[in-house]
């Protein structure tokens, strides 16, 4: 995947070539994407759920502290959008599975019998497997999405994870200064 840097107004107003940023195919569809650099990313923040109430409070704070990033409209084909949604849903399913199986393992340890301890060990192993699957699914989500990174001057946005054809189309288009 490639990356391309464009003027912030082009991203905010959706003035980009009509090629899907992920597939490089012509599209008239757009997806609204928010810059994650304005605040902390939530890539591994789901781990805070495992810390109990303290982690939940930190997660709530991080979600509310969002920050002042940029939101833009990017050309995004329906196929690329569906792939992104499926990856996000599968990530959520595995997160819930890891939490539920982990809680069942803890419950098995709380009940003091040989059978429940054996079940707790098996559920603990299943929890580790589910957490590994969450990490793999998070990687799939990152591949299916694009990242906007606003520079320090707040005038330029780097779009990461774009198709090389989209990057070439952005590089080939005339700039506003050459139109004059």
DSSP structure string for 113-163? SHHHHHHHHHHHHHHHHHHHHHHHHHHHHHHHS-EEEE-TTSSEEEEEEE-
Three-class DSSP category at 99: helix
Give the pLDDT of the chain (180 residues) as one tens digit per residue.
Answer: 899 999 989 998 889 999 999 999 999 999 988 876 544 455 566 677 777 777 777 777 766 665 567 888 999 999 999 999 999 999 999 999 999 999 999 888 888 788 888 888 999 999 999 999 999 999 999 999 998 888 888 889 999 999 999 999 998 887 654 444
Write phi, then psi, for 6 (nearest 5 degrees).
-135, 165
For residue 61, what are its two tokens? 């704070």
Q: What gap in Å lies between CA 60 and CA 126, rounded to an integer?
A: 28
């Amino acid at each position: 995947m490639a990356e391309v840097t464009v003027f912030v107004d082009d991203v905010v107003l959706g003035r980009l070539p009509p090629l899907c940023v992920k597939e490089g195919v012509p599209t008239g569809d757009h997806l609204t994407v928010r810059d994650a650099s304005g605040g902390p990313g939530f890539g591994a923040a789901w781990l805070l759920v495992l810390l109990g109430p303290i982690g939940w409070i930190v997660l709530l704070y991080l979600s509310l502290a969002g920050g002042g990033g940029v939101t833009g409209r990017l050309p995004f084909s329906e196929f690329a959008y569906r792939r992104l949604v499926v990856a996000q849903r599968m990530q959520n399913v595995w997160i819930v599975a890891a939490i539920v199986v982990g809680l069942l393992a803890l419950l098995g340890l709380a009940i003091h019998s040989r059978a429940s301890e054996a079940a707790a060990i098996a559920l603990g192993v299943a929890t580790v497997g589910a957490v590994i699957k969450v990490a793999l699914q998070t990687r799939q989500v990152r591949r299916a999405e694009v990242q906007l990174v606003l520079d320090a001057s707040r005038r330029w946005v780097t779009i990461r994870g774009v198709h090389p054809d989209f990057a070439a189309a952005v590089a080939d288009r005339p700039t506003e200064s050459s139109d004059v």
